[in-house]
Structure 1
Amino acid sequence: MAKNSAKRLKEIVKVSAFYGFGFLVDNKIKRQDNSPENLRLACEDLGPTFIKLGQILSTRPDILPAEYIKELSKLQDNVLPEKFKDINKVIKSEFGKSIEELFLKFNEIPLASASVAQVHEATLKDGREVIVKVQRPEISDKMETDISILSRIFNLTKAKFKDTLIDPSEALNELLDSTRLELDFNIEAENIEKFRKINKSVACIYAPFVISEYSGKTVLTLEKIKGYKIDDKKGLLEQGYDLPDISKKLALSFLKNIFEDGFFHADPHPGNLLIRDGKICFIDFGIIGNLNKTLRDSLNDAVVAVAYEDINKLISVFMSIGIKDGFVDRNQLYEDIDYLFANYLNTSFENINMSYMLQEVFDVARRNNIKLPKELTLVIRTFIILEGVIAQISPEIKVLDIAIPYVKSHNLNKDIDLDEVLLNTHIFLKNSVKVPTKLIEVSDNILSGRTKIKLELKNLDKPLNELNRMVNRMVFGLVVSAMIVASSLVLNSNIGPKVYDVSLIGVIGFIVAGISGLWLLISILKSGMM
């Protein structure tokens, strides 16, 4: 290990021990008070990489308990600014020209100084006022060193995380991915342009122009937006703004971006939301959420299922997008969701936060060994921040009150995807052709004794008539299947009385089988045992 790495490792061990986490890196140190607050303080003391790691973990309620998520969300990303001469070197390295050659004015004192970059006000040669985000020199090397050390520590301490919710390897991979994205300002520029494009028809939403000729991998130059911070209630009221109206528009914009566009600003704290000329202006696109169509539809279905207290629908959503992380007992899952609806959500929606509702639903999935996509956890974190902002300026506005009608309407008015319909129709027809052959195989196997039906009986204390009904349905289903097979054989043989050269016996057999099968299906659905 290099000298600098060894020195840094000692620093990490020392700070970790001070805040009660020394047992993770040194077996000789006893486990101490490792409260959520101590974890946050340790991250702040250890600098940029650990602040970033904490911020990433604050977006992952599927990895850490709620109390840790809440505390890590408070992480402050303010550090001492770099010397101006070093900032000039970064700009010259990016463009081949000095600050004096590129800008008419450039404020040496930064507006803000974070772990990865700092922000300066400037004026271009043509007089346009801009904001220049400059990456800290050598920040990439420093973060790579810390990540390498973390990797070594995690490899040595895997056993200590065995019975916890924390997956160190997963957290480290998240850190690596996030770091690569955040250290390339070209990606942030692309995010801004995409956000502008998908919201161009939304009159109340705005994002700054990217000045592309003054932007690159380590420098990002944007249009300067002069406005009021969204939590500046006094300033906004003095300008005649309607705060509840701003809150509703903000909530609706996020619902559109999440449920329709699948692309949303995932860090909507007050410092990133400005009000100017009646528009909500978004800045700092370092954290962006992406949801593909499958995840958007599933999230939509989950919210609708909660709104209608449709337990089976919610289970279907879990099973379709979740990854089984062990045995999943559907009966237990059903009971947990039923308990959730009865004890937590059986109240007016105005008393429930959107983030709380989603968090509770996701916790049920996690307790039942279903791991939901990490992209959806970022949605929860975004709603936590969003609801906090709205609570500051309009406490009477509840995001869930806006979300439920929106999602229901969106569900009803969803455009039909013709390609998807054609594909599903093709698959259905293709499989339908195989049905008679498969049924004949099943009947042959039954008649020859090759088919075995395995029944696993649980909860024997339940009434025996439930078991009787189940067996009766199975027998009835087999009879219906046999009728379909027999009718198919009669039609193929073309025997008996005919109508339009089609066997009447076969047609009647199909009709009777169809009606019987429909009756059986309806009885199963009514019983709730589907």
Structure 2
Amino acid sequence: MTLLPENIDRYRKFFTLLIKYWNSDILDYSTKMAMGDADVDESGIFENSPEELTEDLKKMGPAYIKLGQLLSTRPDLLPEPHLKALQELQDDVDPIDFETVQGIFEKEVGTRISKAFKEFDPIPLASASIGQVHVGMLHSGQKVAIKIQRPQIREKFLSDLNTLSEMAEWAVKHSEDARKYNVSALVEELRFTLLKELDYQAEAQNLLLIKRNLKQYKNLFVPSPILDYSTSKVLTMEYVEGKKVTAINPLRRIEENLDPLVDDLVRGYLKQVIVDGTAHADPHPGNVHITPQNKLALMDLGMVAQFPEQMQERIMQLMLALSEYDSEQVISVLMAISTFDPEKADIEQFKKEISRMILENQNHSAGSMRTGRLIIQMNRTAAQNDITLPVTLNMLAKILLNLDQIVAVLSPNYKINDTIRDYMQEIMQAKMLDELKPASLLNLALETKKLAEKMPERLNTIMENLANNQMEFKVKTIDETRFTDAFQKVANRITLGIIIAAMIIGAAMLIRIKTSFTIAGYPALAIILFVIAAVIGFYVIYQIVIKDENFKN
């Protein structure tokens, strides 16, 4: 940490918040919920009120407001009153004045608002931590939503994120728990994701990409961006009529069958993760609206998650195993994608806890919000047993947790695992059929042709080498140099032992022969041989007893 004057204030704010909530009952509640502790206070009475927590986060800065928004979608961590209070942060932040909005738009787009739009409402429709949304109408008559980024918001975000990164690094150095839960990697992923969300041009491209990828799902709607009036700080897109799914009238659920919408929603997000590799990473209930045409509109696509191809296959295996409650396959996939130190990790305990989770998860409906929560619990269980799972699995868990909430609102008795299982089977069949396409078969034929062309030549070479006794097999099982050195050392010591024995025997035979040259009355040659043998013998003993301690490995 660098204690420069400009950093002191952000450290002060961070530690003020930390001290206030460090031993609070709400943190105790969140910790117990995270660890799956059954002893959780369900009274709903806490020392710090939900409104107080919301106001504290507002005072901290935009990055902390965004964290509050993310926490508002985590029923696995916070009680209902706190979730509702934090939801205000999604679209109820102090607005910026119209003059500032006008200045930002005209600077970014290069034209006046009055020239670009036939109508433009100066009162914002919503105001969030990064920007605010105004409603307008193009001269063509098309109704649009215009999102304007707050001034200097990137610099403020970077300041807050730098503080979090520095605190995470400090925690990893001084806390075993921080290392277990890979806190620095989580903060780094948050930093990457949030900074991407600040680029409205990237969000416009996300809208186009995900709209194209989801075009087969008729019950899903993604607004198109108006690229002529969009920059890195201004985003103009189709206006979406409708309301948040959380505000849906309960009678509508009874009168209308919303299961087709839920089917498309679940399948659409599974496709994004497993097939496309790019998924909307923040589908919380506030970002999914239901339109008068009975479609689900996906909003705020600034935050996306990337899933590499190899990870897509593993996720497909994991999701299929979860849908079938196959604990052995779940454990197999988790072990394949994890990293751990065999000497520290408690593998058997991890497997036992995962098996218990899968068993307990059977027969749960969407109203229990189990799918995303289950993967989150798996991450925590892995950390507790010194096993590290990929950060992308955390992103998957967050997506599924948000989906669980939406599904629970639209159709509480919906069996999400049945849809997952059916979709996984469809994907596997599609992959198999894809292998049978003419292009795939042609590639296979070409590879087979190459193999067939090379085979006679290679077989002829092998047979010729065998006939000439020139066939060699190279097998690397040990360190040959080290083995040779060790063998040579043994041979040398055996030779020295033979020489010592010969010298002693020779000296013993010579000592009976009288000579004129004597030492202490004994034949000199015999005594010299005895001394040389003794010196060599003590040297060998020294090498074996003292030096060989350095060559145990």
TM-score by length of 1: 0.68
- 3-state SS of the aligned residue for 1:397? coil
Q: Which of 96, 99, 106 is 1:82 aligned to?
A: 96
Q: Which of 137, 151, 158 is 1:123 aligned to?
A: 137
In 1: Cα distance, 2:242 partner to 2:314 partner? 37
**Residue type matched to 1:301 in 2?**
Q
In 2: Cα distance, 1:399 partner to 1:248 partner? 9
The equivalent of 1:20 in structure 2 is 21
Q: Check conservation: 2:220, 2:261, Cα contact below 8 A.
A: no
**Residue type matched to 2:223 in 1?**
P
Which of the two has higher C-alpha Rg?
A: 2
Q: Check conservation: 2:146, 2:236, Cα contact below 8 A.
A: yes
Residue 67 (structure 1) aligned with residue 69 (structure 2): no
The equivalent of 2:520 in structure 1 is none
Q: Which of 126, 129, 135 is 2:149 aligned to?
A: 135
Output one character per residue of 1:477-499: Cα deviation in whole Å (capped at 9) or x when no partner. xxxxxxxxxxxxxxxxxxxxxxx
Q: Check conservation: 1:161, 1:167, Cα contact below 8 A.
A: no
In 2: Cα distance, 1:444 partner to 1:209 partner? 63
Output one character per residue of 1:456-510: Cα deviation in whole Å (capped at 9) or x when no partner. xxxxxxxxxxxxxxxxxxxxxxxxxxxxxxxxxxxxxxxxxxxxxxxxxxxxxxx
Distance 1:20 1:444, change over 3 A: closer
Residue 182 (structure 1) aligned with residue 197 (structure 2): yes
Distance 1:141 1:309, change over 3 A: closer
Q: Following TM superposition, by how much is the alpha carbon of 1:163 offset from its aligned partner in structure 2, in angstroms?
A: 3.1
Distance 1:397 1:101, change over 3 A: same
**Residue type matched to 1:67 in 2?**
L
Output one character per residue of 1:395-454: Cα deviation in whole Å (capped at 9) or x when no partner. 111212321232234334423554997999999x99x999x9898848999xxx99xxxx
In 1: Cα distance, 2:289 partner to 2:278 partner? 20
Q: Which of 211, 232, 236 is 1:196 aligned to?
A: 211
Instruction: Name the Cα RMSD after superposition.
Output: 4.2
**Residue type matched to 2:319 in 1?**
V
Q: Following TM superposition, by how much is the alpha carbon of 1:209 offset from its aligned partner in structure 2, in angstroms?
A: 1.3
The equivalent of 1:104 in structure 2 is 118
In 1: Cα distance, 2:446 partner to 2:327 partner? 29
| 1:269-348 correspondence to structure 2 within 5 Å | 269-276=284-291, 277-308=293-324, 310-324=326-340, 327=343, 328=345, 330-341=347-358, 343-345=359-361, 347-348=362-363
The equivalent of 2:404 in structure 1 is 387
The equivalent of 1:91 in structure 2 is 105
Output one character per residue of 1:372-409: Cα deviation in whole Å (capped at 9) or x when no partner. 22122122112212121221222111212321232234
Residue 252 (structure 1) aligned with residue 262 (structure 2): no
Aligned length, in residue pairs = 429
**Residue type matched to 1:199 in 2?**
L
- 3-state SS of the aligned residue for 1:80? coil
- 3-state SS of the aligned residue for 1:406? helix
Distance 1:48 1:69, change over 3 A: farther
Residue 11 (structure 1) aligned with residue 35 (structure 2): no
Residue 50 (structure 1) aligned with residue 64 (structure 2): yes
In 2: Cα distance, 1:308 partner to 1:15 partner? 44
Q: Check conservation: 1:318, 1:370, Cα contact below 8 A.
A: no
Residue 237 (structure 1) aligned with residue 252 (structure 2): yes
**Residue type matched to 1:123 in 2?**
M
| 1:149-168 correspondence to structure 2 within 5 Å | 149-154=163-168, 159-164=173-178, 167-168=182-183
| 1:506-525 correspondence to structure 2 within 5 Å | none
Q: Following TM superposition, by how much is the alpha carbon of 1:94 offset from its aligned partner in structure 2, in angstroms?
A: 0.4
Distance 1:300 1:149, change over 3 A: closer
Q: Which of 369, 379, 388 is 2:386 aligned to?
A: 369
Q: Following TM superposition, by how much is the alpha carbon of 1:96 offset from its aligned partner in structure 2, in angstroms?
A: 2.4
Gaps of 5+ in 1: 22-30, 451-530
- 3-state SS of the aligned residue for 2:77? helix
Gaps of 5+ in 2: 31-45, 485-553
- 3-state SS of the aligned residue for 2:297? strand
The equivalent of 2:425 in structure 1 is 408
In 2: Cα distance, 1:43 partner to 1:171 partner? 20
Distance 1:414 1:440, change over 3 A: same
Q: Check conservation: 1:105, 1:123, Cα contact below 8 A.
A: yes
In 2: Cα distance, 1:368 partner to 1:145 partner? 34
- 3-state SS of the aligned residue for 2:118? strand
- 3-state SS of the aligned residue for 1:375? helix
Q: Following TM superposition, by how much is the alpha carbon of 1:79 offset from its aligned partner in structure 2, in angstroms?
A: 1.2
Q: Check conservation: 1:264, 1:288, Cα contact below 8 A.
A: yes
Worse overlay, 303-312 or 114-123: 303-312
Q: Check conservation: 1:362, 1:372, Cα contact below 8 A.
A: yes
The equivalent of 1:145 in structure 2 is 159
- 3-state SS of the aligned residue for 1:225? coil
Q: Check conservation: 2:185, 2:391, Cα contact below 8 A.
A: no
Q: Following TM superposition, by how much is the alpha carbon of 1:114 offset from its aligned partner in structure 2, in angstroms?
A: 0.5
Distance 1:439 1:319, change over 3 A: farther
Q: Following TM superposition, by how much is the alpha carbon of 1:93 offset from its aligned partner in structure 2, in angstroms?
A: 1.6
- 3-state SS of the aligned residue for 1:414? helix
Distance 1:423 1:90, change over 3 A: farther
Q: Check conservation: 2:284, 2:406, Cα contact below 8 A.
A: yes
In 1: Cα distance, 2:137 partner to 2:375 partner? 45
**Residue type matched to 2:77 in 1?**
E
In 1: Cα distance, 2:199 partner to 2:70 partner? 17
Q: Following TM superposition, by how much is the alpha carbon of 1:219 offset from its aligned partner in structure 2, in angstroms?
A: 0.2
Distance 1:51 1:154, change over 3 A: same
In 2: Cα distance, 1:156 partner to 1:198 partner? 41
**Residue type matched to 1:383 in 2?**
L
Residue 214 (structure 1) aligned with residue 240 (structure 2): no
Distance 1:321 1:393, change over 3 A: same
Distance 1:156 1:407, change over 3 A: closer
- 3-state SS of the aligned residue for 1:358? helix
Output one character per residue of 1:294-321: Cα deviation in whole Å (capped at 9) or x when no partner. 1221111123334455555334322332
